[in-house]
Amino acid sequence: MFDKMAGSMTANIIFDLDGTLVDSAPSLCAAGNRLVEELGRAPVSVETYKSFVGRGIPRQVEGLLEHTGGVPGELSVHLARFREIYDENPLVATRPYDGVAAALERLRAAGHRLGVCTQKPTIPGRRVLGGLGLSAWFDSFTFGDSIAVMKPDPEMIRHTLQDMGPGPVVFVGDSETDSATAANFGCPFVIHEHGYRKRPWQEIAHSAHFGHWDAAADCILAALEAPHAAAGALRLS
C-alpha cells in the first residue's frame, strides 16, 4: 500500500553511522589500542572493541579501559587522548558497507528525505561522511555533541527531523541503543545485522532486518508500510 503511495508520501529515513552506514570498528579499535598500549596494556581485538561501540566515545573509552584492567585516574584525560589519536585520521580503515550508496540513491530517487543520527562527535563524523562521499545524500545530521543528550534520548531523532519534513519516520541502526532510541521516539526500527552491539541482533527489538545493503531499501520501505507497534511494546527492558 505504501509503495502505491510512495510517489506522494515522502518519508523521513534516519540512519545511524558506525556499524550501519560505515564499518568503522577497525579504525576506532586501532585508536583505542594506541591508547591502551601507551598505558602499557595489551591490545584488544576488533570483535571485542565492537561491544564497546554504540553509546558514544566516552562509553567506548570507559569500556575499553575497564576491559583492560580498570580506569587509571580521570576518564576525561584518557578520553581527550583518544580523541587526539582518533580525530587525526578517522578515515583510516573505515569504509561504507557494500551497497550503501546504491541504497541511498534509490531511497532519494523515490523522493524520501534522509538523515544521519549518530553518537560520533561532529569533527570525526563530518570527516568520515565527507571523506567517503556520503554527505550529499543527507538532508540532516545530528552528531553525538550536537545537543545536550545522546541516543537513546528521542530528542536525537527530533533534532534530526528539524531539517527534514512532515511524513512517517523510520530509524535504521545496529545497536541496542538505536533500538531503544526508535522505541522511545515511537517509530519503526530497522536493524543492520552486521553492526556492533553486545547481544545478537535477534535479541534486540526491531521491525525489520537486513544483512546486505542490497536488501536495505526494500526492507526500509516495508518497515514504513507495516503497522507500527506502540512505542511501549518495543521498549527495551
Task: Catalogue the active-site residues.
Answer: 16
Asked whether position 197 contacts ligand PGA by CB under 6 A, the answer is no
DSSP per-residue string spanning 150-203: -TTSTHHHHHHHTTS-SS-EEEEESSHHHHHHHHHHT--EEEETTS--SS-GGG
Chain residues in the site for Mg ion (CB under 5 A): 16, 18-19, 174-175
Per the CB < 8 A criterion, the answer to whether 162 and 189 are in contact is no
Query: Binding segment for ligand PGA among 38-46, 112-120, 198-206, 213-221 (CB under 6 A)?
Result: 112-120
The three-state secondary structure class of 214 is: helix
Instruction: Find the shortest distance in angstroms from Cβ 118 to ligand PGA.
Output: 3
What's the first-to-final CA gap in the chain, in angstroms? 33
Binding partner of residue 60 among Mg ion, ligand PGA, none, CB cut-off 5 to 8 Å per kind: ligand PGA
Asked whether position 118 contacts ligand PGA by CB under 6 A, the answer is yes
Binding partner of residue 118 among ligand PGA, Mg ion, none, CB cut-off 5 to 8 Å per kind: ligand PGA
Closer to ligand PGA by Cβ: residue 129 or 208: 129
Instruction: Find the shortest distance in angstroms from Cβ 125 to ligand PGA.
Output: 8
Binding partner of residue 206 among Mg ion, ligand PGA, none, CB cut-off 5 to 8 Å per kind: none
Give the relative orientation of helices 75-88 and 25-38 as an angle to the nearest 10 degrees.
130
Asked whether position 120 contacts ligand PGA by CB under 6 A, the answer is yes
Query: One-letter amino acid identity for 224?
Result: L
Instruction: Find the shortest distance in angstroms from Cβ 119 to ligand PGA.
Output: 4
Per the CB < 8 A criterion, the answer to whether 103 and 217 are in contact is yes
Closer to ligand PGA by Cβ: residue 16 or 225: 16
- Residues 152 and 139: their CA atoms lie apart, in Å, by 21
Adjacent-strand bridge partners of 117:
142
**Which residues are near ligand PGA by CB under 6 A?**
16-19, 53-57, 60, 118-120, 144
